[in-house]
Amino acid sequence: MVVVLTQIGRDCYAFCYAAILNLWAPELATLQPAAAEPLSQTGVKYEREYSILKRRIQEAGLLEKRPAYYALSITTNMVLLVFCLVVLFTIGTVWGQALAAAALGIVSGQLGFQLHDSGHRQMFVSSWKNALVGLVTADLLLGMSYGWWVQKHNRHHGNPNDVDLDPDIKVGAIAYTDEQAQARRGAGRLAAMYQAYLFFPLTTFLAWSMHVTGLTYLVKEPSRYRRLEFGLLAVHAAVYLGALVYFLGPWSALLVVLIHKGVGGAYLASVFAPNHKGMPQTGPSSRLDFVRTQVLTARNVRGHPLTDLWYGSLNYQIEHHLFPGMPRVNMRRAQPIVRQFCLEQGIEYYETSFLESYRELLGFLNEIGAPLRAERIRV
């Protein structure tokens, strides 16, 4: 179980600001593209293509920061978080507490999007402000490592769906390639056979995986702000668990924790998984230029105000991967520009519906498990 969990998956503002500004601000990790290698003539052509697209996006004003929007978004998230906690601690029935815990899981998902945007520097021009929001959101409010998440997500953005380099397709509980499936043994092989059926139940462990993996990263990997994160994580654990046990008692607290983490993890996985899973994968012999890598490996989910809210605008996955620093509120306006550019360049731009994205995801997982099921039948 520990292996599965490990693999799946504002009073403190002033303190954080002082620590970051005085000690670690220059070193705080943010999501930046890797240094460019010398370009061939073909590379120059592809770079020119991206420059054309970027100029169109800039001329539309879509790369400009939207601090007022994010101030409102952060405030809204905090109000919802406090409201859920007040309901949780004041309601007297177990069913009411269970519903409040589920709502808290949804709010935690929205806080996850807040962490995501801060890591991409979407919110503010100043790096320390983005880092401040990221550290408080991740470590203090969610109990996961900001430093771990940033470096992992940075590698994903640089190598989406790369079978060797993308950490998001190296998750051991789910097999995303035939090679991964064939390498499984024992219970892992059995799980891979039927992973399309197990996928959604396994997503309820995602939050636990993020807690464990992030803490492991802080223990084993160098981090210039490790002490700050350890301190914030300790405060989170003490306040979160202490308040639940004090106000609800141990058994109700356990129920709330399980529901909160299960719903929050499933919510985030339901947003992240359709973005790339089942789309073309790349490797050492099939890597593409930047634009085609970001467009062809991503799947958009058709936009609607409610869809945009539910996905944190990550349903515009193509636009996000092309311009990760673009504020989420601008994604919808960027879409027709990017779509038109792809049409001009002959690049396939893929978009589908909410339900169809999950059908494609589960079909892909079922296809990966099919050879294992066939082998079992022959035996």
Q: pLDDT confidence of 149, banded at 50, 70, 90?
A: very high
Domain spans, the chain? 2-29+41-378
H-state helical runs in the chain: 2-7, 12-19, 41-59, 67-90, 94-119, 127-135, 146-158, 178-182, 187-193, 195-203, 206-220, 226-248, 250-272, 290-296, 305-311, 317-322, 331-345, 354-378
In 3D space, the residue among 329, 289, 277, 275 whose CA is nearest the CA of residue 53 turns out to be: 289
Tracing tokens 């105000």 back to the chain, one arrives at 305
pLDDT for position 41: 60
- Under 8 Å between Cβ of 119 and 146: yes
More confident residue, 165 or 28: 165
Q: Tell me which amino acid residue 288 is.
A: L
Q: Of 59, 53, 51, 103, give the one whose Cα is nearest residue 82.
A: 103
> Which residue has 């038109």 as its token pair?
340
CA proximity to 53, closest of 339, 351, 346: 339
**Helix (H) or strand (E) run with residue 301 in it:** strand 300-301
Mean pLDDT of the region 257-265: 98
Q: Which residue has the tokens 């994205």?
A: 357
Amino acid at 62: L
pLDDT at 80 over 90: yes
Helix residue ranges, H only, 37-126: 41-59, 67-90, 94-119
Higher pLDDT, 33 or 38: 38
**Percent of the chain having pLDDT more than 90?**
78
pLDDT at 31 over 90: no
> With 90 as the cut, is the pLDDT of residue 201 above it?
yes
Residue type for position 173: A
User: Per-residue confidence at 36, pLDDT binned at 50, 70, 90?
Assistant: very low
Choose the weakest-confidence range: 16-25, 58-67, 279-288: 16-25
Backbone angles phi, psi at 241, to 5 degrees: -70, -40
| Mean predicted confidence (pLDDT) in 213-221 | 94
> Which one, of 40, 19, 321, lies nearest residue 146 by Cα?
19
The dihedral built from the CA positions of residue 322, 327, 332 and 333, taken in this order, carries a sign that is negative
Whether the pLDDT of residue 341 is over 90: the answer is yes
Separation of alpha carbons 186 and 177, rounded Å: 18
- Beta pairing partners, 301: 352
The whole model's pTM is what?
Answer: 0.85
For residue 379, what pLDDT is reported? Answer: 57
Average pLDDT, whole number, for the chain?
88
Say whether 262 sits in a helix, a strand or coil.
helix
DSSP 65-90: --HHHHHHHHHHHHHHHHHHHHHHHH
Reading the block at residue 313, the tokens are: 């605008």
How much is the average pLDDT of 350-371? 95
Q: Please count the other Cβ atoms lying within 10 Å of the Cβ belonging to residue 38.
A: 5
pLDDT digits (tens, 9 = 90+) for 85-105: 999 999 989 999 999 999 999
Which three-class secondary structure state does DSSP give residue 148?
A: helix
What pLDDT, on a 0 to 100 scale, did the predictor assign at position 377? 76
Distances from the Cα of 94 to the Cαs of 87, 187, 254, in angstroms?
A: 12, 35, 12
What's the whole-number mean pLDDT along residues 306-323? 97
Is the pLDDT at 18 greater than 70? The verdict is no
- Contact call for residues 31 and 121 (beta carbons, < 8 A): yes
The tokens describing 171, both together, are 């998750």
Model confidence at 1, pLDDT cuts 50, 70, 90, reads very low
The band of 314, judged by pLDDT with boundaries at 50, 70 and 90, is very high
